[in-house]
Amino acid sequence: MKILSVVGARPQFVKLAPISRALTGRAEHVVVHTGQHYDELLSDVFFRDLEIPLPDVNLAIGSGSHGAQTGSMISAIEPVLLSHAPDWVLVYGDTNSTLAAAVAAVKLHLPLAHLEAGLRSFNRRMPEEHNRVLTDHASDLCLAPTQTAMRQLGIEGLAERSVLVGDVMTDVLLQVRDSAKPGNALPEGVSPGDYYVGTLHRAENTDDPERLRSIIRALASLDKPLLLLAHPRLIEVARRHGISLDEGAIRAADSRPYPEMVALVSGSSGVVTDSGGLQKEAFLLRVPCTTLRSETEWTETVELGWNVLVHDNLDELAAVVSRPQPEQTSETPYGDGHAAEAVAAVLLNPERLPRT
Ligand code: UD1
């Protein structure tokens, strides 16, 4: 069997790692990198640190407006799909690379599987929400990470083509967690266990300079140093609008390779983020998370008390971030670290599916 994965952005490389391992020796696995992320720290380091074989094809599409980027990807992916004629096209998450590959695959009548299906923010202004809704509905197979996602797929009439596999990011995190060390990653004056880790990259938080200014002001007032691992998008927008990131409690730094990031989070007193993956990683590492959004797709983290959303009430951010540790939990809403095995089992045995 031939499975062709399309990836392009940082979180997709993390998800690819356990899938690549699970398929090794069991299927021909072709990996196509769209080139949506191209900086070394957003792309190459993941292949190196997570020991993922280098992509078979790199389309080098790069950045652009949503339409231009997605359109260029569709037209570049199509000939690759035609030449490989895979048994499955596997797409990951909710980026423009995901949607582009999904559109290219369905137009060619190739079986399409969507990993991390069924997540919803119900915020139709988020580019990721368009990408995931459209991809789920185009897919022949929706691979859901959680029960919540399965329920949502059912509500949208997709139950018959949906399978609960668990969350592949849990697989990676559990593997990396025990070997990761923060090493020299802490800047001067920051003591182990006495700092926060922050990330900020969503369009809704970065693209409006007034909103970005208010967030930076609120982060600067935290009671402990905040290691702000800055995505190039944040650095670029802040530079363009003359917004300094190194204010008050904030220590701005480049984004970090995955194992270092896990170690930093694990050794921190809390996380402040608008990333989806990091909310879950904080939960799995049992580090309190504060999410700079009005909604989350990972609702279990909030329900179990480990994640609090802060959007308009930025005045309350410092108090929320320094809140006491939540009650411990033994719940495992994101699976047991064997999701990639479940994905491989479903893809390699499509005859067992209710409908493909
Ligand atoms: C994308 C995904 C988002 C995901 C995030 C993970 C979409 C719509 N968004 O957002 O869901 O959470 O990746 O990081 O697909 N840039 C660089 N170097 C790079 C890549 C980007 O400097 O290697 C800069 C460029 O200025 C670019 C901007 O970042 O315009 C945004 O990049 P883009 O890929 O459009 O979206 P992300 O914000 O990375």
Catalytic entry in 33, 84, 114, 201: 201
The mean pLDDT value for 17-46 works out to 97
Q: Round to whole Å and give the CA distance between 351 and 124.
A: 35
* Residue burial 87-113, b: 16+ Cβ < 10 Å; e: rest: bbbbbbbbbbbbbbbbbbbbeeebbbb
Residue nearest ligand 1's atom 35 by CA: 63
* Nearest one of 354, 298, 335, 343 to 114, comparing CA atoms: 343
Task: State pLDDT tens for residues 325-355.
Answer: 999 999 999 999 999 999 999 999 988 776 5
In the sheet that holds 307-309, the strands lie side by side as: 250-254, 226-230, 196-198, 270-273, 289-291, 307-309
Residue nearest ligand 1's atom 9 by CA: 95
Q: At what angle do helices 276-284 and 258-266 cross, to 10 degrees?
A: 50
Report the predicted TM-score, pTM, of the whole model to 2 decimal places.
0.95
Which pLDDT value is given to residue 356? 46
The mean pLDDT value for 216-225 works out to 98
114 catalytically annotated:
no
Query: Which protein residues are within 6 Å of ligand 1, measured from CB?
Result: 9-11, 36-39, 42, 63, 94-96, 127-128, 201, 231-233, 236
- In sequence order, the 6+-apart residues with CB closer than 8 A to the CB of 345 are none
Residue nearest ligand 1's atom 30 by CA: 63
Averaged confidence pLDDT in the chain: 95
Instruction: Decide if 217 contacts 192 (C-beta within 8 A).
Output: no
Instruction: Decide if 252 contacts 230 (C-beta within 8 A).
Output: yes
Q: How confident is the model at residue 187 (pLDDT cuts 50, 70, 90)?
A: confident
Q: Specify the pairing of strand 141-144 against strand 28-33.
A: unpaired
The neighbouring-strand residues paired with 162 are 142
* Candidate from 7, 34, 36 with most ligand 1 atoms within 8 A of CB, to mutate: 36
Share of the chain above pLDDT 70, in %: 97
Task: State pLDDT tens for residues 70-85.
Answer: 999 999 999 999 999 9
Which pLDDT value is given to residue 182? 61
